[in-house]
Structure 1
Amino acid sequence: MKKYWLLSVLFLTSFTKLFAHEDTSLSVIYTSSVKNLHYLDKNMHVFIDSNNNVDLQLLRGIMFMHLNERPRPKGFKKYMIDSKMYLLFWINNDEDKPRDFFVTPGIYAKECILYTRINNDYPWKEIPGQVVPDKNENAYRYFTVPPGTEMQILVRCSYARTNVIVFKPYLINPIYLDDHISKNHNEWHGVNVFTYLLCGLLLMMMLYSFANYVQNLKRSFLYYSLYSLLIGALLFLKAALHERSTPFNFFYEEYLDYFLQMSGYIFYIGFTRMFLNTPVQYPTLNKMFVIAEIVLGLFLAVFSALYFTGSAYPNLVAVENSSKYFLIFLGIMYVILGIVKRNRLMNYLLAGNVANLLFGGMSQYLISYPSSNLFPDAPLFRQSLVYFEVGIFLELIFFLLGLVYKNKIELIEKVKMDEAMKLEAEKQEYAKQIAVLSAQQDERSRISADMHDELGSGVTAIRLLSEIARKKTKDRPVEEIDRISYNANELMTKMNAIIWSMNAGNDTVDSLVAYIRSYASEYLDNFDMLYRINTPSNLPKLEVSGVKRRNIFLVLKESINNVMKHAGATEVTINVHFSDNNQLIVEIADNGKGIDAEKLNQFGNGLKNMKRRMESIGGTFTITGTNGTRVTLEVPL
């Protein structure tokens, strides 16, 4: 009904005007007035065949109206798109030579054909040679006006099925055509510069994301690289094909830009799902995103089916607008869930989504209402693409911030995991060492028990038998029997020391000090010697390994033996005490003749072995010979 209403308005408006150029002499174009470019708004009449079934030869003047008088109802573009447009003007060559011209109904005009006739009594004839082969521009057609001739020129065309079409009819001097095309393409108020810069950023993000996917096989980076590729391609083609009337640009504006945009959004939603791990972290949000991917896929499939089957343009607009309203609804729901969840990583993507949603909405509003007063009058701010690109740019910035934050979190988690694995490995190693030590302790206990039970009884028997033999031969002493008795006693003492050191139950400071006190007092009681053994009343509750106990005891034993053999002392003092850092200190001091430091080598390997034993357990051995001899043993516990 709207189409027929438009035809009625056109018909009634033009009915009172005569079509003959005698009454519209101001509409005639004289070739001498056309230098480079002539805008046809004052010279052109228009007829819209909304049913696409008007016979060319049946066109009558009453069916046309002047271009400046055409109505501009809301939605006028869709009648232009779905209709055949007939544009009529008169041209008079008032010069003495032929004049050549190009005519265009506008950048996005296609299927242009030029017709001419001398007057209303002649049929329309198609102008030959109007398509110039080396000009790949569908909106420009060529014709020649002979000298002294007036011609009616009829342009039949249709327009690309896109809302970016602009009705701008021009008459162009051929020498100015290339400049005109170049000027239309390049004069975009700086938008193309910003677009190419943004395309470069998207290209870098695509390469970065794909490299991350190749290294880590994370699908989130694959999806983002595809999103960057699709949106980058959309913007690059928008700038590269700007104001070009080529078949590919028609296809891009009609279908490809929507395909790239919707496909990009589908991959961006997939990226968001993988990046936030919504299947695990946010199941409700994940379900919403999955449904959104399916719905956008359906929108794209329906749009493709309608486009390739030649459905009416309003149907395409309805699908496109519905998908954009759905994206707005999805963005609002995402914002609400993001506010509820209050997750910092989600907030970064949420901020990018809000920016994309806000500026994308501004872009869509400017497309729908290009004459709105809500935007500044500067040409740059009247370009809808600018706002769309600002939204993409801000989304990119917030994605990078989110990526940095996520990498930081993953690095911290990786360090924690590495530390946990290291700690677990150390625990396992410690458990192995504990098991080995436990097995060693068990073996030591077994050996010490066997030595006590088997060897101890045998040595004791030898000792008793030697004592019995000594008593029986008291009248005739036998030196060998005395030596057997002595060696048996020594062997018993050494064996007891070994058994004591091997018994894990004696691995304490209490046991070590008690054994030192017991042995020293028992040994020194056999000599006419004054001795003192000083030990602290409160001993630290520390463990001392069997190896340390054995080496400390043997060095102490050797030191006491040296006092009795070499010192010529009448008094000996043994001091046992502990430093603040749990270091055991044992001092053996006598009042004998002392020892000359220059003659220490005369004592052979004895002192060297004592020093080596202490060093083997991380201790020190020192000996001084002033006012008697003082031996100091220091061992960290």
Structure 2
Amino acid sequence: MRLENQAQTSQLTPAADLTRAGLLNDISPNTWYYFSDNKNIAIQQLPSLPYKQDTRKYIHFMAPALINKKTILRFFLTNRSDVQQSVFFCPGWLVDTIELYRLTPGGSHVEALPRELPNDADSLGYRKITLAPHDSATFFAALSYIKAPSNSINPTLTRDTLITEGIVLQHRNKTSIDVITNLFAGLMLMMIFYAFSEYIQSKKPEFLYYIGYSICIGVLLFLKATLHNVTTSFNFFFEGFLDNIIFSAGYICYIIFHRKFLETSKHYKALDRYLLWGSAGIAILTCLYTLAFYFSPDFRLANNLETYTKLLLLATSTIFIIKGLGYHNRLMNYIVMGNISLCLLSIISLVMISMNIKIVSGVSVLNASLFHYEVGITVETLFFLFALSYKNKMEIIVSIQKEEKLKLETERKEMEKQVAVLAAKQDERNRISVDMHDELGSGVTAIRLMSEIVKSKMKDQTLPEIEKISNSANELINKMNTIIWTMTSSNDSVENLIAYIRSYAVEFFENTAIDCYFTMPASIPPREITGEKRRNIFLSVKEALNNVLKHSQSSVVKINISVNDRLVIEIQDDGVGINMEKLRKFGNGLNNMKKRMASIDGGFNIENKEGTRTTFYLTL
């Protein structure tokens, strides 16, 4: 009797006519609903449950409160045609199980309908219903949902002959947000290639973490677009579990990337600790979420852990932004601005999901929560590129500075090495000059003295050989003194060179018929000159003075010396001059002077000018 009353009540429910069924006809106005805590309701109890009207408010609902419940839908169908009609019933999107029942004529019995699905891979969300001509019946759909944070009840009917088109329209027809999501997934693919090229060039590990982040977010967006409204086992797994795992893994990589890219462990130790704790916390919550998802009978625990994971990520991002704004660093500012954009737009996306609000009226991608999250990712990516460009520029500058510093250090070491070698040479020169003075000098002087003693004893019977020995010893002493002078490092100055030339010239012409006049600056600047240069200049001047004495037939020789940026020594006599045409092309004296001055990068010139003028010059 109770079933009959329920059957009569069913007749009062607006009936959906199968003859009018086409593609995805909404039967929400014809459908009543009931949520039961008992998942094992006896099928004979279905007609007596306290159903409520208007399922349209459940077109979008937050699922956690209903995951542990059994949802029963009741709807009344009729076939007013003269032929049998078949339709496919779809209760919504992420429905894990669908069990259809029919109230038999007269309301005396409830029978289960066979599980008939369309011949299509995307068919888990559909069940077939058939009515005889001019038949009417009350149907019940017992539903359970996948473990997803949001779901919907949106019952539709599609004629069996149009089911292929219906599936295409419902699950494979790409909407504007799907196309845009694919574009954003393509953007992440580009960033993967870009980061990989950066890693190949620099071998920096932070780019591997950015690749991991880009892969996770790119795969997440691609699957969101590809599997949108698809009722397959993989999509149920993706929407229920895998999307949160990919999301968490991506942002763990993202946080580690920030730590490596900004070198927070070196420059921002306090911030580095927060980021480390944040990534560790997200990893721990993700593991707990996995355990709760598979082992807890109450989905609300897993859902709460997923919510806590996102709140921890939000808190970590907020701390990063607040502390990052306190650092006056351009690279940090770029990254912080990207995080601000991503954080704000992610919050907008979450608010739109949780409150089911629309930003604009009508159909628009602006009403899609995923679109705002994708815009946030894009803006963050742009700021990352700005930061990377700036960092590369700064690293180039630092690299150049290091190269210059290394170059200067190498030059300094080379200079120190040369100075050490020079010092060793100077020490050796000084040692040789001392040895020559002490050993050879005393010996030659002894020879000269003994020759003079022999001459004095022999008086008028002096042998020519004794005279030659005395002169040779005398000349050898002079030459040895010159060598000792050139080898002594304390004499390495222009002033000492000029003084030595003056002393030698005056002494050289002292017992001759030639008067020597010497002119030099009153003040000589302190300029160093090597022993090699002093030796070659002095020997060149000595050769010029010998030529004056032997060949000039002059009575006066003037030696003028000037010192500024160059040392110039000019020797002018008033003799017969030099015949440049009859001069032997390769005369030893002149050639020696020329070679000596050329060997020290100096110059030599000889000319007829009121006698002979010989000029030596050397750049100091």
Q: List structure 1 segments (4+ residues) > 6 angstroms apart after TM superposition.
A: 70-76
Q: What is the aligned partner in structure 2 of residue 557 from structure 1?
A: 542
Are residues 1:67 and 2:49 paired?
no
**Residue deviations 1:220-272 (CA, integer Å, cap 9, x gap):** 22222212221222111111111111111111111111111112222222222
Kindly report which structure 2 residues correspond to 1:461-480, keeping only aligned pairs within 5 A, or say none: 461-480=446-465
Within 5 A, what are the aligned runs for 1:618-629? 618-629=601-612
Separation (CA, whole Å) in 2 of partners of 1:338 and 1:63: 57
SS state at 2:584 partner? helix
CA contact (8 A) 1:451 1:499 kept: yes
Q: Secondary structure at the match of 2:377?
A: helix
Q: What secondary structure sits across from 1:449 in the alignment? A: helix
- Distance verdict in 2 for CA 1:592–1:511, change over 3 Å: same
Q: Which residue of 2 aligns with 1:6?
A: none
- The worse-fitting range, judged by mean Cα deviation, of 31-40 and 604-613 is 31-40
Partner residue of 2:26 out of 23, 29, 39 = 39
Alignment of 1:211-250 (within 5 A): 211-213=197-199, 216-250=202-236
Matched, 1:605 2:569: no
Code of the residue aligned with 1:616 in structure 2: it is S
Which deviates more, 191-200 or 533-542? 191-200
Equivalent residue for 2:574, pick from 580, 591, 601: 591
How far apart in 2 are the matches of 1:192 and 1:600? Answer: 101
Q: What are the equivalent positions in structure 2 for 1:106-117 lying under 5 Å apart?
A: 106-117=92-103
Q: 1:187 to 1:380 in 2, by over 3 A?
A: farther
Which residue of structure 1 lines up, in the alignment, with residue 332 of structure 2?
Answer: 346
Matches of 2:511 and 2:586, distance apart in 1: 24
Q: d(CA) in 1 for partners of 2:69 and 2:581?
A: 123
Q: 8 Å contact 1:100–1:145 — kept in the other structure?
A: yes
Amino acid at match of 2:177: V
Does 2:599 align with 1:616?
yes
What's the secondary structure of 2:598's corresponding residue? helix
SS at match of 1:35: coil
CA contact (8 A) 2:118 2:163 kept: no
The CA deviation at 1:46 is 2.3
| Pairs within 5 Å for 1:85-234 | 85-128=71-114, 130-185=116-171, 189-213=175-199, 216-234=202-220
Identity across the alignment (%):
38
Among residues 320, 343, 346, which one is paired with 2:306 in the alignment?
320
Q: Single out whichever of 280-289 and 58-67 deviates more from structure 2.
A: 58-67
3-state SS of paired residue (1:95): coil
Residue 307 of structure 1 deviates from its aligned partner by 0.7
Which stretch of structure 1 is more off in the superposition, 453-462 or 499-508? 453-462
Work out which of the residue numbers 382, 390, 415 in structure 2 matches 1:405.
Answer: 390
Which residues of 2 match residues 321-470 of structure 1 at below 5 A?
A: 321-371=307-357, 379-470=364-455
Helix, strand or coil at the partner of 1:494: helix
1:501 matched to which residue of 2? Answer: 486
C-alpha distance 298-336 of structure 1, shift in aligned 2 (>3 A): same
**Partner residue in 1 for 2:292:** 306
Q: Is the 8 A contact 1:118 1:150 kept in 2?
A: no
Which whole-Å deviations, capped at 9, do the CAs of 1:446-495 have from their partners, x for residues lacking one? Answer: 11011111111122122223333444455245332332222222211111
Kindly provide the amino acid, as one letter, of the partner of residue 491 in structure 2: N
Asked if the contact 1:370/1:382 (under 8 Å) is kept, the reply is: no
Equivalent position amino acid for 1:450 in 2: D
Pick one of 568, 571, 589 that aligns with 2:556. 571
Query: Does the aligned pair in 1 maintain the 2:58–2:152 contact within 8 Å?
Result: no
Deviation of residue 22 (structure 1)? 7.7
Letter in 1 for 2:322: I
**Change in CA separation of 1:598 and 1:176 when aligned onto 2, cut-off 3 Å:** farther
> Contact 1:444–1:504 (CA<8 Å) still a contact in 2?
yes
Gaps of 5+ in 2: none
Structure 1 position 619, deviation (Å): 0.9
The amino acid of 2:531's aligned partner reads G
TM-score norm. by structure 2 comes to 0.93
The Cα of 1:213 is off from its aligned counterpart by: 4.3
Q: 1:288 aligns with which of 266, 274, 281?
A: 274
Over aligned residue pairs, what C-alpha RMSD do you find?
2.7
Mean alpha-carbon deviation: is it higher for 491-500 or for 126-135?
Answer: 126-135
Q: Is the 8 A contact 1:571 1:590 kept in 2?
A: yes
What's the offset of the Cα at 1:554?
0.5
Query: How far apart in 1 are the matches of 2:314 and 2:566?
Result: 75
* Matched residue, 1:255: 241
Q: Partners in 2 of 1:378 and 1:127 — Cα distance?
A: 38
Mean Cα deviation higher: 545-554 or 324-333: 324-333
| 1:446 partner letter | R
C-alpha distance after superposition, 1:187-209 (max 9, x if no partner): 56532233223222322333443
Instruction: Confirm whether residue 51 of structure 1 aligns to residue 38 of structure 2.
Output: yes
Q: CA separation in 1, counterparts of 2:615 and 2:99?
A: 118
Q: Distance in 2 between matches of 1:612 and 1:243?
A: 97
**Normalised by the size of structure 1, how large is the TM-score?**
0.90
Q: Which moved more, 1:156-165 or 1:23-32?
A: 23-32
Aligned partner letter, 1:297: A
Moved more, 28-37 or 304-313: 28-37
Q: SS at 1:341's partner residue?
A: coil
Superposed, which structure 2 residues align to 1:533-552 within 5 Å? 533-552=518-537
Cα distance in structure 1, aligned partners of 2:521 and 2:62: 109
- Cα distance in 2 for residues equivalent to 1:285 and 1:613: 71
- The residue type paired with residue 422 of structure 1 is K
* Letter of the 1:233 counterpart: V
**How many angstroms apart in 2 are the aligned matches of 1:621 and 1:280?**
65
Amino acid at match of 1:481: I
Question: Take 1:34 and 1:74, find their aligned partners in 2: how far apart are those partners?
Answer: 23
Go from structure 1 to structure 2 and tell me whether the alpha carbon gap of 1:603 and 1:566 turns closer, same or farther (over 3 Å shift). farther
Number of residues of Structure 1 aligned to a counterpart in Structure 2:
618
**What amino acid is the match of 2:47?**
R
Residue 60 of structure 1 aligns to a residue in which SS? helix
Inter-partner Cα distance in structure 2 for 1:174 and 1:567: 133
Q: Separation in 2 of the partners of 1:497 and 1:290?
A: 78
Q: Give the letter aligned to residue 431 of structure 1.
A: E
